[in-house]
Amino acid sequence: MKREKIDMKINIIRLFWFSGVILLVLSMVYGCSSSNTATTATAPPIAITVTLTPLSGTLDAVNPNSVFYEVIPASAGIVDPNSIKISVSPSFLFTGVNGFSSGTFAGYVDITPEGFLPPATTFSVTTNFLTNRNGTIYAATSYNVFTTATFSGTFPVAAGHSYTVTVNNSIQPEGIASITAGAFPVLAVSVLTTTAASNPTAAGAEGSMILFGGQAFSSSSPTDINPAAFALTLTAYYEGNEFMSSGSAVLTVAGMPLPLQNFSLRGTANADGTISNGVLYGVLHCIDAACSNITDTTIASAVSPYTDSNGNMAVLGTFTGAANTFSPVTWIGGGDTATTTLANGIGAGISTATLEITTTSSPLTATATLPFVILTKTDANNMMSIAAVGQSTDALPLTSPIIFDYPLVQPGLSGVPFSTAAGVTYTTYFMFGLTNSMALTFTP
């Protein structure tokens, strides 16, 4: 009995000893963790004024389709771009691209909403980042507020309407402004087609359309399109009289190509045929620091210092759109006929569309603009998606019948084939000059 009591005391002592060792180890680990945290702890937050600038409207009345950029002043110190966090309340989806110059943060962040902002709504913007000032790391926080304007009027543009677009201000990136300023080509942009609005009688009614773009050889005759100078095509959406588009484009600036893999034109379509509050936004992605995907060494050397760690450079600017009063040329006459044949690509093969025109007015020499075929489908919400686009390379003069073969690839994804789906009805739009001349449907 006495032996059992002794053993019990020994076990209790061992238990306390073992518990003490565990506590000691835990306190050492915690102490190391605390020590490491202390060496990287930031100083108390400091007040820095960060300027929020909308590309359309004022802070008191921002357009619902606007793009913003935040400017962090040089007095903030050395900013860690990876620490920049931007939050918006009420929240909406947006992309943020940091501006860089010669490998260092250039002091601005582009903020691009991914859709229309709700009208007549006040938003608060919070920007957090770490900055090094005289060897001490501070946490900085800035607050901004903006309010969106209301939608005004309905979208006035019908299929076939076209604009002459002039880029009149290149804001970002700062360092190549001297190259891009005044050097953007005049663009001929046409509304190829529109879908019925979801609720056409309501304010802010929404719908979709296709924008056809091309670089005009001259501002006086924008029907002379250089198809290789501007990506085809742009899907666009509208709410009220505000519109925004998405796609890709290669703009020739000062004789140098800017391949913008993400490209958008946003603005307000006015009843008088003009565009106001126009915002151009694009992102050029370099596959390495030297932008080796750009063959022109001059533009490569100009662009590479302004790319972030992911190889992205944002191009931001404003534009105006004037009504294109030049009468477009139409190839199809009253006695002409057109037929289409669709061939589905097998496996990874590229589907093709064949357009055959039988005309009574051949040979055709009236215009150097070749037609394009665009396959689209519209969902239950009246939103349009571009399935594929092709371009004819036949030379003029042409004799009847005229046959155009179009390899169908996905827009913005060079060389990626598009295959139609069995049982789905597609619409083929034929475009001559800058107008939608006809539309046919077929179901493969």
Return the higher-pLDDT residue of 62 and 324.
62
pTM listed for this prediction: 0.77
For 37-85, write each residue's pLDDT tens digit: 334 457 888 889 999 999 988 999 999 999 999 999 999 999 999 999 9
**Integer Cα distance of 389 and 373 in angstroms:** 6
Q: Please tell me whether residues 17 and 66 are part of one structural domain.
A: no
Query: Which phi and psi (to 5°) does residue 124 adopt?
Result: -110, 140
Q: For the chain, give the mean pLDDT.
A: 75
Q: Which of 160-174, 232-246, 415-429 has the highest mean pLDDT?
A: 232-246
Give the residue-averaged pLDDT of 155-170: 79
Residue-range definition of the domain harbouring residue 24: 2-40
- pLDDT above 90 (res 267): yes
Shared domain check, 262 and 279: yes
Residues 48 and 36 both lie in one domain: no
Q: Is the pLDDT higher at 278 or at 408?
A: 278
Flag whether 331 is in a domain. Answer: no
Residue of 339 and 6 predicted with greater confidence: 339
Region 94-111 average pLDDT:
89
**CATH code, domain carrying 138:** 2.60.40
Token pair of 17 as six digits: 């000893």
* Residue 13, C-beta contacts closer than 8 angstroms, at least 6 positions apart: none
Residue 34 has pLDDT above 70, yes or no: no
Is residue 292 a part of any domain in this protein? no
Least confident of 227-241, 251-265, 286-300: 286-300
In the numeric block, the tokens 């496996």 are attached to: 347
In a domain? residue 305: no
Question: Cα separation of 281 and 245, whole Å?
Answer: 10
pLDDT at 356 over 80: yes
Tell me the average pLDDT across 415-420: 77
Task: State whether 64 and 22 are in the same domain.
Answer: no
pLDDT value at residue 38: 32
109 and 210 housed in the same domain = no
Total tally of structural domains belonging to the chain = 4
On the CB side of 376, how many CA atoms lie within 13 Å of its CA?
26
Strands 94-101 and 104-113: antiparallel
Q: Is residue 328 part of a domain?
A: no
Among residues of the chain, what percentage have pLDDT more than 90? 22
Confirm if 250 and 232 have CB atoms less than 8 A apart: no
Give the whole-angstrom CA distance, residue 292 versus residue 284: 12
Q: List the end-to-end C-alpha distance of the chain, in Å, as a whole number.
A: 95
Give the model confidence (pLDDT) of 163-191 as tens digits.
888 888 888 776 666 666 566 767 778 78
